[in-house]
Homo-oligomer: A and B are copies of this chain.
Amino acid sequence: MKKTEILIVGTGAVGSYFGGKLVRENTRVSALCRSDFDIAREKGLEIQSYNGDFVFKPAEVVRDAADLSVVPDYIVVCLKVLPDINIAGMIKDAVGPGTAIVLIQNGINIEKAVADAFPDNELISGIAFIAISRVQTGIARHTGSGKLILGNYPRGVTDKTKLLADIWLNADVPCDLSEKVTRERWQKMVWNAAFNPISVLGGRADTLQMVDVPESEKLVRQVMKEVLALAKATGNELQDELIEGIIDRNKKMRPFKTSMLVDYEMGRPMEVDAILGNAISIARELKINVPRLESLFGLLKLQDVVKKTRDSS
């Protein structure tokens, strides 16, 4: 039987982890990467996991989609969502008529550009819940969770999506299927839109500090309310109780640094547009008032310009 051909695009921490987990007897997993090219080809990508270390050694490593020797059944994109990354352009030479494109990415409304570029291909939207970060080139450290939610964009679940979920499930990666993946994305946004920006803007705060300082807890809560109102206006109603649940859990959990804060501290670009910018654009279209999301967005955009000015002087 022909092996399932999979191309992982982006071999950062998330790509290495979920890509590595797809390597099975009946799969052949390649990788498209740039800065990790040599190490991915020579040694493979190392994952130091609290669940057991492993190495993701791709079957093929390419710098360019055109160099891939096969037409993949799945292209799994694990890149950060940044304004200057053109995913459609990056993958187009590897996309065949039967290729499903999978986006394992953060943020809201991130599928549209890819859906427009490949209207005849299946598009699977994926959300990762994982505490993992790169500690050096080719090495990621996985410290918690490791779950996925998959669903077709804009809705539904096809057999091809189920098949991919099965491969992960067989590798002990919890992988839920959702008929309304956009709703799941909004649900993740409730946490993301509050904790990620506030951790950076609040002077590098951890998750506990953000809900422990009363004025900040209030802000967290109000930002989450804005996201809930926005989700509802887009037809993705979420339970109000979600907010208290999140705050309670964050009060009890061991404090940790958000992914945006980790990026900030490492001087790496942050997913400000994917998380806040897209939500604010939707709010503008739907004439929903999101003053707190706009405040956080304005401050992060300002920080970005100030930092670039300082770095270049």
Contacts and interface: CB of A to CB of B under 8 A. Distances in A.
A201 B298 CA distance: 10
A212 B306 CA distance: 11
Interface extent on A, as a size class? 20 to 34
Contacts of A305: 205, 209, 212-213, 216
B219 A295 contact: yes
A277 to B, nearest CB: 9
20 contacts: A202-B299, A202-B306, A203-B302, A203-B303, A203-B304, A205-B302, A205-B305, A209-B302, A209-B305, A209-B306, A210-B302, A213-B305, A215-B302, A216-B298, A216-B305, A222-B291, A222-B295, A291-B292, A291-B295, A292-B294
Contacts of A297: 215
A165 interface: no
A306 to B, nearest CB: 4
A3 interface: no
Copy count, this protein chain: 2
Interface string A278-313: 000000000000011011111101111111010000
A218 interface: yes
A198 interface: yes
Contacts of A203: 302-304, 306-307
A307 to B, nearest CB: 6
A222 B294 CA distance: 10
Contacts of A205: 302-303, 305-306
Given A209-B309, A215-B297, A309-B209, A202 B291 contact: no
A41 interface: no
Contacts of A304: 203
A204 B295 contact: no
A30 B210 CA distance: 45
A218 B302 contact: no
Contacts of A204: 306
Given A209-B309, A309-B209, A202 B295 contact: no
B222 A302 contact: no
Nearest to A223: B295
Contacts of A294: 215, 218-219, 222, 292
B298 A219 contact: yes
Given A204-B306, A209-B306, A306-B202, A216 B292 contact: no
Contact of A292 (B202, B209, B295): B295
Contacts of A307: 203
Interface in A209-245: 209-210, 212-216, 218-219, 222
Given A203-B306, A216-B301, 20 more contacts: A201-B299, A203-B304, A204-B306, A205-B303, A209-B302, A212-B305, A213-B301, A213-B302, A213-B305, A215-B294, A215-B298, A216-B299, A218-B294, A219-B294, A219-B295, A219-B299, A222-B291, A222-B294, A222-B295, A292-B294
